[in-house]
Structure 1
Amino acid sequence: MKRENFLQMISDGFLVNPIVAILGPRQSGKTTLTRQYINTIKTEKPIHYFDLEDPNDLAALKSPKAVLENLKGLIVIDEVQRVKELFPVLRVLVDVVNLKQQYLILGSASQELIKQSSETLAGRIEYIELPPFQYCEVKNLEKLWIRGGFPRSFLSVNDSSSYRWRESYIRTFLERDIPNLGIKIPAENIRRFWMMLANNHGGILNASDIGKSLSISHTTVRHYLDILVATFMVRQLYPWFENISKRQIKSPKIYVRDSGILHNLLQIRTNRDLFNHLKLGASWEGFALEELIKHHNFRSQDCYFWSTQNKAEIDLFTINHGKRIAYEFKFTDSPKITPSMRIAIEDLKLDELYVLCPGNKKYQIEDKIIFCGLEKYLESY
């Protein structure tokens, strides 16, 4: 599947910077996207590819300056987080040694986790986050919801194969990928913590309660959470604060970012399992939230929820092109206007409030409040 939007982002990135970084979770399609990009330019410049999971390439880049300084054209470095010492060398190469080089680097951790890149390459690098598949690419909302967007999960021959692939993915992530980042934590500890977050999916983080349940400190809870956020497994949605007198929630909400991974952690194998599960509404909320963020390419730091101590709340709040827009995600065929929505319109001075539900209908029920099927919204906006 050709992901044209991201191919264009790479091309645009190289118009401004000599280094483009594609960051995203393992198996989200970074390597495939890179090969597609190479196919679009292969007649224009030399291509050099280093995969740092290949022992030979990893050994070669133990002396990166000697290997890279005489190369010209596009230099691809896959799984760059395995050799963080590369970043100071890349700065020297793009600044001094060879102005005829471009670097496309791929990583399975956020720029916050690969701190050297943000500190060393400031002003020289463009970051692109590549998520798993989204609705605009696959046009099958129900299948995307149950299986999630990881290509091998979504494209599996049936739900059973998809579920088994995700189970293997989770095991590999815990037992190999996290240790490869230099993080020394027993895999079972992270799994238990991740499963607890899945059971609290869409809820407010209470680090003390989770710590007591797992017999770990609240600081360890924060450390585990930081790891899962930095590896694109979990979204931490922070609260928005208005200068109003009402007491507001200050802790973040937590979501497992990929709905398929969430369903494995909750042992949901089929649509029937999902529709009979207590977390059905929370699963829909997280799935719709992620699709919306990917659809609009919202930055994480521009996305908030809003909640007050008297239970008035909004699932997602953002300011987009100067407009204050809020979203509620409801798994229902007949959504209703709630007092909470009217309070939010007044307190947050909203321009629009969308209530996104299953289905393909759209209608405005009241000034500033629009009910819309998620599929209809993703097709229309």
Structure 2
Amino acid sequence: MKLRTRKNAFLQRHADKTIQRLASSYPAVLLTGARQTGKTTLLTKITDAQAVPYLTFDDPTEELSATNDPKSFLAFHPHPVIFDEIQYVPHLFRYLKIEIDKNRRNGMYYLTGSQQFKLMETATESLSGRIGIVQLYPLSAREIRQDIFSDSFIPTKKYFLERSKAFSAYTFSIHKTWQAIYAGGYPEVIKGKVAPADFYANYLKTYIERDIKKLTQVADEMQFLQFITVAASRTSQLVNYGDMARECGISEVTAKKWLSLLVTSGLVYLLKPYSSNVEKRVVKTPKMYFIDTGLAAYLTRWTNPEVMQTGAMAGSFFETYVIAEIIKSFANNGEEAPLYFYRDKDKIEIDVLIERNNTIYPVEIKKTATPNTEDAKNFFIMNRLKNVRIGQGTIICNCSQVAAVTKNKISVLAVPLEFI
């Protein structure tokens, strides 16, 4: 099987099939995620053949109409219909439920919105059993190169064998990897319509003005922007609210609130530490990752991929990029990524643990192109985990082919980051 691509102007999204599957099973589908990840473009493409009408609550007139008289609003906008930016009218969910229950059919309402955790809570409470939810992140590396492979990343030998065949004629390039890390995955940047620095500057301005100011109470916009920058400088690190608060001149309570805003906006992902009933020595603090390395690079003022590759944050950016790619592989299939990290009080750490079917797959992330046994030195700790099977140990790195690495009689595979 060779790596096949689709040749068209539209970058095919792997969430496409997931959305269509859910629309054939539920009356409503909610596509959530950060701004400008391509939610509207994807939904309009999927519903184009049906000529489904489109309406956005970014329009203050439509927002006011839906707020003042939701019953009449829905009467004048019969299904099927796309409602964009529905986070501005969360009360509408209860009226959607009424409309759905009157004459239930699948594919009645297509919804988009940011602030996904709040939206999910409201949507699942009001439309329980009536709605399917998909998280859309910026473009994955698979989508950018139009790789049709869409399985969630489970690091098994079978998975790697299939990927090896697909990449048999592929030219690996560390330079291209760092270009991808620097650019990020927002569609407007990838399509070359705007320079990354210009895009991210306007993106942050729009994000603060439309999402933060409208949906929450942030008194000092410049201070909030400073907080986002501090968060970006700490990507791939354990969360330390006290240090972040001191650096920004805010209270620890405010730091917690503001980081929560970044998470609910889809800009930041918190990786939970792994724990079990038996293991008592695991650190409980989560690790923080920016979902888009391009945005994080802009915030931390890296001016080009070459400087970033050799800079002090190179390892952090590489790890962040890998984590984000793994998350996207699950999200595009409508799954929550079953990811954890391991770190005990002796500071023995494994970057990622992937849990599937009572099996734990340990993964280390290294920016090196020449992995060795030292990169797998902490995998011995897996023997301490009880009541679970231990799957294939993996090192994701900048190598160009699968290579076996053995440490303390534990078999480990080093694999190219492109295999995610």
Give TM-score, length-normalised by structure 1. 0.90
Q: Which of 88, 97, 100 is the aligned partner of 2:94?
A: 88
Q: 1:107 corresponds to which residue? A: 113
Q: CA separation in 1, counterparts of 2:291 and 2:133?
A: 19
Q: CA separation in 2, counterparts of 1:235 and 1:78?
A: 24
- Within 5 Å, give how 1:149-168 maps onto structure 2: 149-156=185-192, 161-168=195-202
Q: 1:370 corresponds to which residue? A: 413
Q: CA separation in 2, counterparts of 1:130 and 1:40?
A: 22
Q: Confirm or deny that 1:347 pairs with 2:387.
A: no
The residue identity in structure 1 corresponding to 2:232 is: A
Deviation at 1:191, TM superposition (A): 1.3
Q: 1:6 corresponds to which residue? A: 15
Task: After superposition, give the CA deviation of every residue in 1:241-291 in whole Å (9 maximum; x if it has no partner).
Answer: 134566221111011110000101110121122123200000000001111
SS for the counterpart of 1:106 is: strand
Deviation at 1:172, TM superposition (A): 1.8
Q: 2:40 corresponds to which residue? A: 31
Q: CA separation in 1, counterparts of 2:56 and 2:91?
A: 16
Unaligned runs of 5+ in 1: none
SS for the counterpart of 1:3 is: coil
Q: Confirm or deny that 1:69 pairs with 2:69.
A: no
Q: 2:354 corresponds to which residue? A: 318
The residue identity in structure 2 corresponding to 1:125 is: I
Q: CA separation in 2, counterparts of 1:59 and 1:104?
A: 20
Q: Which of 147, 165, 184 is the aligned partner of 1:148?
A: 184
Deviation at 1:115, TM superposition (A): 3.5
Q: Confirm or deny that 1:59 pairs with 2:64.
A: yes
Q: CA separation in 2, counterparts of 1:300 and 1:82?
A: 25
Q: CA separation in 1, counterparts of 2:270 and 2:107?
A: 37
The residue identity in structure 2 corresponding to 1:354 is: T
Worse-superposed segment, 165-174 or 318-327: 318-327
- Within 5 Å, give how 1:1-381 maps onto structure 2: 1-42=10-51, 47-62=52-67, 63-69=69-75, 72-96=78-102, 99=105, 102-113=108-119, 115-139=121-145, 141-156=177-192, 161-244=195-278, 247-297=281-331, 299-300=335-336, 302-338=338-374, 340-348=377-385, 350-366=390-406, 367-375=410-418, 377-378=419-420
The answer as to whether partners of 1:143 and 1:154 remain within 8 angstroms in 2 is no
The answer as to whether partners of 1:147 and 1:163 remain within 8 angstroms in 2 is no
Worse-superposed segment, 205-214 or 351-360: 205-214
Equivalent pairs: percent with the same residue? Answer: 24
Distance 1:342 1:67, change over 3 A: closer
Distance 1:68 1:296, change over 3 A: closer
Distance 1:38 1:157, change over 3 A: closer
The answer as to whether partners of 2:362 and 2:379 remain within 8 angstroms in 1 is no
Give TM-score, length-normalised by structure 2. 0.82
Worse-superposed segment, 323-332 or 289-298: 289-298
Q: CA separation in 1, counterparts of 2:339 and 2:279?
A: 22
The answer as to whether partners of 1:113 and 1:230 remain within 8 angstroms in 2 is no
Deviation at 1:307, TM superposition (A): 0.4
SS for the counterpart of 2:361 is: strand
Deviation at 1:319, TM superposition (A): 1.1
Distance 1:8 1:249, change over 3 A: same
* Cα-Cα RMSD: 2.2
Distance 1:95 1:50, change over 3 A: same
Distance 1:137 1:183, change over 3 A: same
Q: CA separation in 2, counterparts of 1:240 and 1:340?
A: 19
Q: CA separation in 2, counterparts of 1:70 and 1:99?
A: 19
Distance 1:113 1:67, change over 3 A: closer
The answer as to whether partners of 2:189 and 2:196 remain within 8 angstroms in 1 is yes
Q: CA separation in 2, counterparts of 1:82 and 1:61?
A: 10
Distance 1:71 1:257, change over 3 A: closer
